[in-house]
Amino acid sequence: MPAEYPLLGIVRHRMEVDGAGVTTLVAGAGCPLRCRYCINRDVLQKAPKPVTPAQLYARVKIDDLYFRATGGGITFGGGEALLHMDFYEAFRPLCPDWKLCAETCLHVPKEAVVRAAKIFDSFIVDIKSTDPEIYKRYTGADLSPALENLVWLFQHFDPEKVTVRVPLIPDFNTVEQQQESVNKVKALGAVRIDAFQYLVR
């Protein structure tokens, strides 16, 4: 029985959104965090459609030419992308020429990050905050697994291919605290940092 992916949705023809080229976003269910402003909370609770690697490949290969001509590929998000490592290990051989990117909070077992570093070409890490209290208040979880995995990633993967997102989170951190997080991830090895503000409706 091949590994299945809990597919929530597919968005095609994204241009230069998460790296070079044309990408297709593949969103999957499940996340270890409970962020207060999660824009995907409703989506995460919907019943996903399980797909095998071959079934997903059949859905997304329509853009094969775009991917190869532009250096694009698939971005796996959700949800927490690194919850589905068995699936990616079976999916990767189907599309060796595509770039695969994972959107992750890194609040996953280290083993998942080690496996992911062998499969993905790039990562987008939403670290939220490097302040343990802010992180706990905003996500409901402990910061340490995510931070330890970020350190591991910088030591074992090209930092140029890791974008770290550091948000200003209304009511949870200040501009100064956001900057402290930026400084901290830089000190850990980040060279690509996306500091921005969450828009809360």
Residue 90 or residue 134: which is nearer to ligand SF4 going by CB?
134
Contact 125, 150 (CB under 8 A): yes
Starting at the earlier edge strand, list the strands of the sheet with 99-104.
Answer: 49-51, 5-15, 22-28, 73-77, 99-104, 122-126, 162-168, 192-197
**What minimum distance in Å lies between the beta carbon of 63 and ligand SF4?**
24
* Residue 65 tokens, joined: 């030419």
Residue 33 or residue 94: which is nearer to ligand SF4 going by CB?
33
C-alpha dihedral (190, 72, 197, 145), degrees to nearest 10: -50
**What minimum distance in Å lies between the beta carbon of 102 and ligand SF4?**
13
Q: What is the C-alpha to C-alpha distance for residues 155 and 175, in angstroms, rounded to an integer?
A: 28
Q: What is the C-alpha to C-alpha distance for residues 111 and 109, in angstroms, rounded to an integer?
A: 5
Residue 65 or residue 110: which is nearer to ligand SF4 going by CB?
110
Residue 37 or residue 154: which is nearer to ligand SF4 going by CB?
37
**What minimum distance in Å lies between the beta carbon of 175 and ligand SF4?**
21
Instruction: Give me the residues that bind ligand SF4 (CB under 6 A), please.
Output: 31, 33-35, 38, 40, 78-80, 105
**What minimum distance in Å lies between the beta carbon of 187 and ligand SF4?**
23
**What minimum distance in Å lies between the beta carbon of 174 and ligand SF4?**
20
Residue 51 or residue 125: which is nearer to ligand SF4 going by CB?
125
Q: What is the C-alpha to C-alpha distance for residues 30 and 8, in angstroms, rounded to an integer?
A: 10
Q: What is the C-alpha to C-alpha distance for residues 178 and 106, in angstroms, rounded to an integer?
A: 18
Task: Report helix, strand or coil for 91.
Answer: helix
**What minimum distance in Å lies between the beta carbon of 81 and ligand SF4?**
10
Phi, psi (degrees; rounded to nearest 5) at 87: -65, -50
Residue 72 or residue 79: which is nearer to ligand SF4 going by CB?
79
Contact 105, 146 (CB under 8 A): yes
